[in-house]
Amino acid sequence: MAGSLNKVLLIGRLGADPEIKQMVNGKSVARLSLATSQSWKDKNTGEKKEKTEWHRIVVFNEGLVNVVQQYLKKGAQIYVEGQLSTRKWKDEQSGQDKYSTEIIIQGYNSSLTMLGGGGSGSSIQNDKTQSTTKASEDLPQTSNDLDDDIPF
Protein backbone atom coordinates (compact mmCIF):
# COMPACT_ATOMS: atom_id res chain seq x y z
CA MET A 1 0.00 0.00 0.00
CA ALA A 2 1.53 3.29 -1.10
CA GLY A 3 1.47 6.21 1.28
CA SER A 4 1.21 4.26 4.55
CA LEU A 5 3.21 4.84 7.71
CA ASN A 6 3.67 2.73 10.84
CA LYS A 7 5.49 4.94 13.38
CA VAL A 8 5.00 5.25 17.14
CA LEU A 9 6.52 8.01 19.30
CA LEU A 10 6.19 7.72 23.09
CA ILE A 11 7.61 9.41 26.18
CA GLY A 12 6.99 7.63 29.45
CA ARG A 13 8.39 5.89 32.49
CA LEU A 14 9.33 2.25 32.91
CA GLY A 15 6.91 0.37 35.17
CA ALA A 16 9.47 -2.38 35.90
CA ASP A 17 13.10 -3.23 35.29
CA PRO A 18 13.72 -4.36 31.68
CA GLU A 19 13.30 -8.09 31.05
CA ILE A 20 16.11 -9.60 28.99
CA LYS A 21 15.47 -12.95 27.29
CA GLN A 22 17.43 -15.23 24.98
CA MET A 23 15.73 -16.11 21.70
CA VAL A 24 16.00 -19.54 20.05
CA ASN A 25 18.68 -18.18 17.69
CA GLY A 26 20.85 -17.15 20.69
CA LYS A 27 20.33 -13.41 20.35
CA SER A 28 19.00 -11.31 23.22
CA VAL A 29 15.75 -9.36 23.26
CA ALA A 30 14.66 -6.72 25.80
CA ARG A 31 11.05 -6.24 26.88
CA LEU A 32 9.98 -2.99 28.51
CA SER A 33 6.73 -1.95 30.15
CA LEU A 34 6.21 1.78 29.49
CA ALA A 35 3.59 3.97 31.14
CA THR A 36 2.32 7.16 29.52
CA SER A 37 -0.01 9.41 31.49
CA GLN A 38 -2.20 12.38 30.79
CA SER A 39 -3.93 14.53 33.34
CA TRP A 40 -6.62 17.18 33.13
CA LYS A 41 -9.01 19.13 35.27
CA ASP A 42 -12.66 17.99 35.11
CA LYS A 43 -14.72 20.83 33.62
CA ASN A 44 -17.71 20.28 35.92
CA THR A 45 -16.11 19.41 39.25
CA GLY A 46 -12.67 21.03 38.96
CA GLU A 47 -11.23 17.72 40.13
CA LYS A 48 -7.85 16.67 38.70
CA LYS A 49 -8.16 13.46 36.64
CA GLU A 50 -5.44 11.19 35.31
CA LYS A 51 -5.32 8.33 32.83
CA THR A 52 -2.36 5.98 32.37
CA GLU A 53 -1.80 3.76 29.34
CA TRP A 54 0.64 0.84 29.39
CA HIS A 55 2.72 -0.06 26.33
CA ARG A 56 4.84 -3.12 25.59
CA ILE A 57 8.18 -2.22 24.04
CA VAL A 58 10.36 -4.93 22.45
CA VAL A 59 14.00 -4.18 21.55
CA PHE A 60 15.65 -6.60 19.10
CA ASN A 61 18.91 -4.79 18.28
CA GLU A 62 21.70 -6.66 20.15
CA GLY A 63 23.79 -3.56 20.94
CA LEU A 64 20.76 -1.64 22.15
CA VAL A 65 19.65 -4.58 24.31
CA ASN A 66 23.02 -4.36 26.12
CA VAL A 67 22.53 -0.62 26.74
CA VAL A 68 18.97 -1.22 28.01
CA GLN A 69 20.19 -3.97 30.35
CA GLN A 70 23.02 -1.85 31.70
CA TYR A 71 21.38 1.57 32.13
CA LEU A 72 17.58 1.32 32.34
CA LYS A 73 15.73 0.57 35.58
CA LYS A 74 12.16 0.88 36.85
CA GLY A 75 11.06 4.53 36.90
CA ALA A 76 13.48 5.66 34.16
CA GLN A 77 12.00 8.13 31.70
CA ILE A 78 12.56 7.29 28.03
CA TYR A 79 11.58 8.46 24.56
CA VAL A 80 11.05 5.70 21.99
CA GLU A 81 10.43 5.66 18.24
CA GLY A 82 9.35 2.37 16.75
CA GLN A 83 6.73 0.45 14.82
CA LEU A 84 3.46 -1.01 16.00
CA SER A 85 3.23 -4.78 15.59
CA THR A 86 0.55 -7.29 16.60
CA ARG A 87 1.56 -10.92 16.97
CA LYS A 88 -0.55 -14.03 17.42
CA TRP A 89 0.34 -16.82 19.86
CA LYS A 90 -1.31 -19.83 21.50
CA ASP A 91 -2.10 -19.86 25.22
CA GLU A 92 -0.54 -23.10 26.49
CA GLN A 93 -3.17 -23.61 29.21
CA SER A 94 -6.36 -22.94 27.25
CA GLY A 95 -5.08 -23.64 23.73
CA GLN A 96 -6.79 -20.43 22.52
CA ASP A 97 -5.25 -17.91 20.15
CA LYS A 98 -4.05 -14.74 21.89
CA TYR A 99 -2.85 -11.45 20.45
CA SER A 100 -0.25 -8.96 21.73
CA THR A 101 0.31 -5.47 20.34
CA GLU A 102 3.83 -4.15 20.87
CA ILE A 103 6.08 -1.29 19.82
CA ILE A 104 9.08 -2.82 18.06
CA ILE A 105 12.49 -1.13 18.23
CA GLN A 106 14.44 -2.60 15.34
CA GLY A 107 16.02 -1.42 12.12
CA TYR A 108 16.74 2.03 10.76
CA ASN A 109 13.54 3.86 11.69
CA SER A 110 13.63 3.32 15.45
CA SER A 111 15.45 4.76 18.44
CA LEU A 112 15.46 4.92 22.21
CA THR A 113 16.50 8.01 24.19
CA MET A 114 17.10 7.99 27.93
CA LEU A 115 15.68 11.19 29.45
CA GLY A 116 16.22 12.87 32.80
CA GLY A 117 19.38 12.92 34.88
CA GLY A 118 21.71 15.91 34.52
CA GLY A 119 19.62 17.84 31.99
CA SER A 120 20.53 15.71 28.99
CA GLY A 121 19.55 12.37 27.56
CA SER A 122 21.51 9.74 25.72
CA SER A 123 20.11 8.83 22.34
CA ILE A 124 20.67 5.41 20.85
CA GLN A 125 19.69 4.97 17.23
CA ASN A 126 19.33 1.52 15.75
CA ASP A 127 20.80 2.20 12.34
CA LYS A 128 24.34 1.72 13.70
CA THR A 129 23.62 1.63 17.46
CA GLN A 130 25.36 4.94 17.99
CA SER A 131 25.26 6.75 21.32
CA THR A 132 25.03 10.52 21.24
CA THR A 133 24.16 13.15 23.80
CA LYS A 134 21.17 15.37 23.10
CA ALA A 135 20.36 18.58 24.96
CA SER A 136 17.03 18.37 26.73
CA GLU A 137 15.64 21.35 24.84
CA ASP A 138 15.92 19.33 21.59
CA LEU A 139 13.53 16.71 22.96
CA PRO A 140 9.75 16.89 22.65
CA GLN A 141 8.18 18.50 25.69
CA THR A 142 4.87 17.40 27.16
CA SER A 143 2.64 19.17 29.63
CA ASN A 144 0.86 17.14 32.28
CA ASP A 145 -1.35 19.95 33.54
CA LEU A 146 -4.01 20.89 31.02
CA ASP A 147 -6.45 23.62 31.98
CA ASP A 148 -8.24 23.46 28.64
CA ASP A 149 -11.92 22.66 28.57
CA ILE A 150 -12.34 18.99 27.76
CA PRO A 151 -15.38 18.45 25.51
CA PHE A 152 -16.69 15.44 27.46
Enumerate domains of the chain plus CATH numbers.
Answer: 8-36+50-135 (2.40.50.140)
**pLDDT tens-digit series, residues 27-54:** 999 999 999 999 999 999 999 999 999 9
Helix (H) or strand (E) holding 68: helix 62-71
For residue 127, the SS3 value is: coil
Q: Is the pLDDT reported for residue 8 higher than 80?
A: yes
pLDDT, tens only, 86-131: 999 888 899 999 999 999 999 888 999 999 754 444 555 544 333 3
User: Which pTM was predicted?
Assistant: 0.71
CA–CA gap between residue 10 and residue 79 (Å, rounded): 6
pLDDT of residue 11: 96
pLDDT in tens, 11-28: 999 999 999 999 999 999
